[in-house]
């Protein structure tokens, strides 16, 4: 349960103000069909984060627990710093998306936007830390939906009322806490 809850919270916070949230806003404004957009977000995130979770699980079988602890700690601290840098959406991603229909545009755009994104890397790191890949993938997917579905339905009005700087700081603090905990060996019993 811890893997699910931590993964959900970390990704929901980290996703606020992220390029995929901006993409959700753009797709909602362009297509004005929220349900296919939400379905595309769900499908793309499940596939992307499942691959990331499998990579994280593979890493745990490849690295010794001591090395893994340091890799995870440094990764989470790097994620904390990265979270403080706001994302921008690429115009070519948005234009490519418009040719595929609502679901297809959302699926392809979200899948590609998540490649190498901080939430995908966080999924790899959390799957490596927790021995429960399915719970991590479910949590990170839920976190993506928590952050992006409201944007699809209420868009601009919601984004203007949330103080992004504080959200980014909270997400960075959470990543930093996870990094320090990993470096101190807390949660070591979760590692193989």
The reply to whether 191 falls in a domain is no
**Does residue 96 surpass a pLDDT of 60?**
no
The reply to whether 65 falls in a domain is yes
**Does residue 1 surpass a pLDDT of 80?**
yes
Question: Buried b / exposed e across 58-92, counting CB within 10 Å, b at 16+?
Answer: ebbeebeeeebbeebbebbbebbebbeeebebeee
The reply to whether 50 falls in a domain is yes
How many alpha carbons fall within 13 Å on the CB side of residue 119?
39
Q: What angle do CA 185, 62, 141 make, to 5 degrees?
A: 75
Could you tell me the pLDDT band of residue 186, with boundaries at 50, 70 and 90?
low
The reply to whether 192 falls in a domain is no
Question: Which domain does 43 fall in, by range?
Answer: 2-186
How many domains, in total, are found in the chain? Answer: 1
Share of the chain above pLDDT 70, in %: 75
The reply to whether 10 falls in a domain is yes
**Does residue 49 surpass a pLDDT of 90?**
yes
């Amino acid at each position: 349960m811890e893997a699910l809850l931590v993964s959900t919270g970390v990704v929901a916070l980290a996703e606020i103000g992220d390029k995929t949230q901006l993409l959700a806003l753009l797709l909602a404004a362009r297509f004005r069909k929220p349900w296919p957009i939400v379905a595309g977000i769900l499908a793309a995130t499940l596939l992307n984060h499942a691959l990331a979770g499998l990579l994280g699980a593979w890493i745990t079988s490849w690295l010794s627990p001591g090395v893994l602890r340091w890799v995870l700690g440094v990764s989470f601290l790097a994620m904390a710093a990265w979270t403080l840098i706001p994302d921008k959406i690429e115009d070519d991603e948005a234009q490519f998306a418009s040719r595929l229909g609502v679901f297809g545009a959302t699926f392809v755009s979200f899948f590609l936007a998540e490649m190498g994104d901080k939430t995908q890397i966080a999924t790899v790191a959390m799957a490596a830390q927790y021995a429960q890949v399915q719970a991590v993938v479910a949590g990170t997917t839920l976190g993506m939906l928590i952050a992006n579905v409201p944007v699809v339905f209420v868009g601009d009005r919601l984004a203007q009322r949330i103080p992004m700087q504080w959200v980014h700081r909270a997400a960075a603090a959470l990543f930093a806490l996870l990094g320090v905990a990993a470096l101190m060996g807390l949660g070591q019993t979760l590692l193989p």
